[in-house]
Amino acid sequence: MAPKIFLTGVTGYVGGDAFYALFKAHPEYEYTLLVRNEERGKPVAAAYPKARLVYGTLDDAEVIEKEAAAADVVVHMADSADNVPSARAIAKGLAAGHTAEKPGYWIHLCGTGILTWYDAGHERYGQAPLPEQKYHDIDDIDRVLSLPDTAIHRNVDKIVLAANDSPGVKTMIVGPPTIYGQGRGPVNQRSIQVPGIIDYTLKNGFAPIQAPGLTEWDNVHVYDLSDFFVSAVEAALDPSKNSNPEIFGPKSYFFIESGVHKWSEVSKWVAEEAAKQGLIPEPITKEVDFPNLGTNSKCVAARARKYLGWQPKGPSLKDEIPAGVAFEAKRLGKA
């Protein structure tokens, strides 16, 4: 029998691209995709006529529980980092439909926004990262698993981690940082952070910097992130990997990064490219109050490389800026 995969978020940026890669690698799997309604599902059905669509919101616990119980693997990407009802429904459904002898596997998309907790709590906006703000997903796993409850995403992480208390459930939390590159999904192909800077720049004529402009994040190309999700699903179906507690279980926390940037550098790149494309008069940056660019998120993705052989190969964030600026200009009707 074909493995049964239940995936949420196919109309989103990360979920859409990940499903593109997963379907391309494994068209033989049996896919069930949660979408909000039939209208929202039309482009999905057109792109993937073999996939089965189920309709419901993230609050429709009965629908989610039923599909989680029936699936071999759940890949949760629809507002997964922050939506409590859907996380609870997946945990309940997996526990009901699986046993220790035949566990269900839950691959859960979070994000390294969770690592901004210290700067956010102390309002350290624009400052350089402290040494202790870097988290290695193998060496520092105990620190990662005991982040304060005030950290964004932490409440849902705790639901996912607690699901491992059921003998029939094994989880993997996936935490990407800044994701860039145009997606290949059927609906949303646009990320959030970098397009947000470009959008601001094209509308205001300058790129924003949160003073003093020293904050750092890591980054990953969306294609490389999707490659990881393919490897994760394959691992869930591979007995030599799915029984390894370093890959699935309460210590299975995977950061996914391949580069690093200062937000002030990104703003300078955007301003330079926007001016080059004739979209703003001069390549100007200005210091403004922009807290979203003011906190640090630093991680080391050792676990993916060590246990799943993940090797990123996409273009760098800087290399993608020209295409990103052109994409936003077209979206805003400025091209």
| 251-296 pLDDT tens trace | 999 999 999 999 999 999 999 999 999 999 999 999 999 888 999 9
Q: What is the pLDDT of residue 166?
A: 98
pLDDT tens digit string along 98-126? 999 999 999 999 999 999 999 999 999 99
User: Looking up tokens 């932490």, which residue turns up?
Assistant: 154
Q: State mean pLDDT over 54-77.
A: 98
Q: What is the pLDDT of residue 292?
A: 86
Measured CA to CA, the distance from residue 216 to residue 201 in angstroms comes to 20
- Residue 19: pLDDT over 90: yes
Any idea what the Cα angle at residue 55 is, between residues 48 and 110, rounded to 5°? Answer: 80
- Average pLDDT score over the chain: 97
Q: What is the pLDDT of residue 335?
A: 81
**How many residues are there in the chain?**
335
Q: What is the pLDDT of residue 249?
A: 98
User: Looking up tokens 């979070």, which residue turns up?
Assistant: 110
pLDDT tens digit string along 27-38? 999 999 999 999
pTM for this prediction: 0.98
pLDDT tens digit string along 190-236? 999 999 999 999 999 999 999 999 999 999 999 999 999 999 999 99
Q: Angle between the 317-331 and 263-276 helix axes, to the nearest 10 degrees?
A: 50
